Amino acid sequence: ARAGVRIMVHENWRWQPWYREIKRRIDAGDIGRPITYHFRIRQRDGLGSNPYPNQPYFAEMARLLVYETLIHPIDTARFIFGDIATLFARLRRYNPLIAGEDRAILTLTHSDGTDGIIDGHRFLNPEPPGPAMGDSLFEGDAGALRVLANGEIHSGGECVWRYSGPEGYKGDSVLATQRHFIDALRTGSPFETGLSEYAQSFLAVDAAYRSATEARAVSLE
């Protein structure tokens, strides 16, 4: 800030098109007043004698699942519902060959009163398979929306939205993130994930580890 240099964190999960559509629908009142949400994050690469073969350094990280993976749904939840007021976490390690936690359940309450659960492990693949790395459910007092791992959005048992864009990473979310960065540089508009804004997601990660250590809910306000 002193040097006048603008910085943005490349957080592309909130740019996955199904989550952009979920926020649009929630803001439009499709589920009424939001009550709760649930992210189930899954990927089968954390078990056995060779965990995380594509990123073997994961096995040596003292902070793993929340720090490396669940930061993404934490930030996505903040994108949809705003800042987090309190967070309670339970963390465990199943695979004895790794240093950090590989199982986590986070309970979050946002400043607007919405409650949520982020439930993560990397022992099973999501069903159906797809780029969303799990499924999610968003409930309000007038209905619910579910995102399947293949990126479809369902309501009342019917598919109401399906991604039909390019096959880039997770719905071309990296390209969307880069476009936002360049557009904001050109126009001078704020970054969605500038440091001062994204700091709240970092604080939530730290709160999760503190909560698990102290066995209590941690306030972020």
Q: Is 57 exposed, middle or buried (0-12, 13-18, 19+ CB in 10 A)?
A: exposed
| Strand-strand pairing, 143-147 and 153-155 | antiparallel
Q: Which residues of 14-41 are buried (b: 16+ CB within 10 A; e: fewer)?
A: bbbbbbbbbeebbeeebbeebbebbbbb
pTM of the model: 0.96
The angle subtended at Cα 145 by Cα 180 and Cα 192, nearest 5°, is 20
Residue-wise pLDDT tens digits, 164-220: 988 899 999 999 999 999 999 999 999 999 999 999 999 999 999 999 999 999 999
Residue-wise pLDDT tens digits, 107-155: 999 999 999 999 999 999 998 999 999 999 999 999 999 999 999 999 9
- At 37, list the tokens: 């949400």
